[in-house]
Chains A and B, each alone.
Chain A
Amino acid sequence: AQSVTQLGSHVSVSEGALVLLRCNYSSSVPPYLFWYVQYPNQGLQLLLKYTSAATLVKGINGFEAEFKKSETSFHLTKPSAHMSDAAEYFCAVSEAGGFKTIFGAGTRLFVKA
């Protein structure tokens, strides 16, 4: 069975600092992995996704994530935080050949001036 764990329900960084949001997954078959962002009163928007091509995936707004099979991780990073990055971030996993997508509990990112 698939599962997703996001470490830290809240993360706070200073503007210009590195953003690191952690995601670990469990899957019995090769997974597809996603990061979504949600701004207040809006739906979720795709940041990036991994579908078994390059392990380092670049997304929108300067975000990237690295698939590490040995660590079953897919952490999201951004070198320099901007105030506009303040939002909630969701990691999600689905399985090759499957249809269901499992979302993590979300991590709320705060950016301090």
Chain B
Amino acid sequence: KAGVTQTPRYLIKTRGQQVTLSCSPISGHRSVSWYQQTPGQGLQFLFEYFSETQRNKGNFPGRFSGRQFSNSRSEMNVSTLELGDSALYLCASRTSGSGADTQYFGPGTRLTVL
């Protein structure tokens, strides 16, 4: 099976712009989670989607949003970019979203905001 894929792998934007990141989960996985990873804050949970519905949400401002499509692919959007949004954004998928399920991570999208 193909792993979790994320596109693009690298992105450079300027302050005030918006960005959309894409994640394709492992085939058959219905849950997709997004994380932001920075050297200062570590790995922080953004949100989780299961069967096109947002099931959990982390403590991020409304500029961060996401969605999931019927084929389980997911996108996250960040509007009005700030310098502090520079980070590695990781997507993870799992089968049903149960706590026992292993999360499988993609390689991440490295976002740099100038």
A binds B: yes
Whether the Cβ atoms of A106 and B106 lie closer than 8 Å is no
Whether the Cβ atoms of A100 and B56 lie closer than 8 Å is yes
Q: Is the interface of A mostly helix, strand, loop or mixed?
A: strand
A106 to B98, CA, bound (A): 23
Interface size on A, residues (CB 8 A): 24
Q: Which residues of A contact B102 (CB under 8 A)?
A: 34, 46, 49
**Which residues 4-18 of A have a CB within 8 angstroms of B?**
none
Total CB contacts across the A-B interface at under 8 A:
59
Interface size on B, residues (CB 8 A): 25
Chain B: CB-nearest residue to A105: B42
Whether the Cβ atoms of B42 and A106 lie closer than 8 Å is yes
Whether the Cβ atoms of B42 and A103 lie closer than 8 Å is yes
Whether the Cβ atoms of A44 and B48 lie closer than 8 Å is no
A45-B105, A90-B43 known; A101+B99 contact, CB < 8 A = yes
